[in-house]
């Protein structure tokens, strides 16, 4: 049986590509979660007034990749020490967050964040939020697999 994981790590295009190309990941879909507006669109989220984050929802096969390995991908594809910004992208929609679907995911995410903080890997405090997953709203079609469609492997972090 497949499982879901949802991560916010800045602009969702590059984050999706990092997960899409990870063995054991069955599917990726970019979208919005964590806000108050029902069925937000990109233009709404860009106002930084809906409370949503740009996220990647990952469907994965836990017999081929662990949730902990997905957390490793997450930590390595963005800077978890900058609040509400990644590179030139600024706003709460670009925050670092892990949206969990079970107590096991929440524990794993907290343990992972704690271990990285103690290791001082990033030289600054980690500001990543860990919260229960709410409603996921898929982004518009033109955002899905954006970098793959353009033959680009990554974008800025």
* Per-residue pLDDT tens digits for 127-155: 999 999 999 999 887 778 867 777 666 66
Predicted TM-score (pTM) of this structure: 0.93
Q: 3-149 adopts what CATH topology?
A: 3.30.1060
Quick one: angle between helices 67-76 and 103-119, nearest 10?
40
Instruction: Break the chain into its structural domains and give their ranges.
Output: 3-149
**Strands of 43-127, DSSP E:** 53-60, 85-86, 89-90, 96-100
Tens-place pLDDT, residues 8-25: 998 888 899 999 999 999
Q: Is 77 a catalytic residue?
A: no
Position of tokens 């590179």? 87
Catalytic residue (choose from 11, 46, 77, 155)? 11
Instruction: Name residue, tokens 């500001």.
Output: 127
When computed from its CA atoms, the radius of gyration of the chain, rounded to whole angstroms, is 14
Query: Is it the case that residue 157 has pLDDT exceeding 60?
Result: no
- The residue among 10, 6, 8 whose CA lies nearest residue 91 is 10
- Are residues 70 and 100 in contact, defined by beta-carbon separation less than 8 angstroms? no
pLDDT in tens, 22-60: 999 999 999 999 999 999 999 999 999 999 999 999 999
């Amino acid at each position: 049986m497949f499982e879901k994981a949802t991560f916010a790590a800045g602009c969702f295009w590059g984050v999706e590509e990092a997960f899409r190309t990870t063995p054991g990941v069955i599917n990726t879909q970019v979208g919005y979660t964590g806000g108050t507006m029902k069925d937000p669109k990109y233009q709404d989220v860009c106002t930084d007034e809906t409370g949503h984050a740009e996220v990647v929802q990952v469907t994965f096969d836990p017999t081929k990749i662990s949730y902990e390995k997905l957390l490793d991908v997450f930590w390595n594809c963005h800077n978890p020490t900058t609040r509400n910004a990644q590179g030139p992208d600024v706003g709460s929609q670009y925050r670092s967050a892990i949206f969990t679907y079970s107590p096991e995911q929440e524990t794993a995410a907290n343990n992972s964040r704690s271990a990285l903080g103690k290791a001082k890997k990033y030289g600054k405090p980690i500001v990543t939020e860990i919260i229960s997953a709410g409603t996921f709203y898929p982004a518009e079609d033109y955002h899905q697999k954006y970098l793959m469609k353009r033959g680009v492997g990554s974008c800025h972090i």
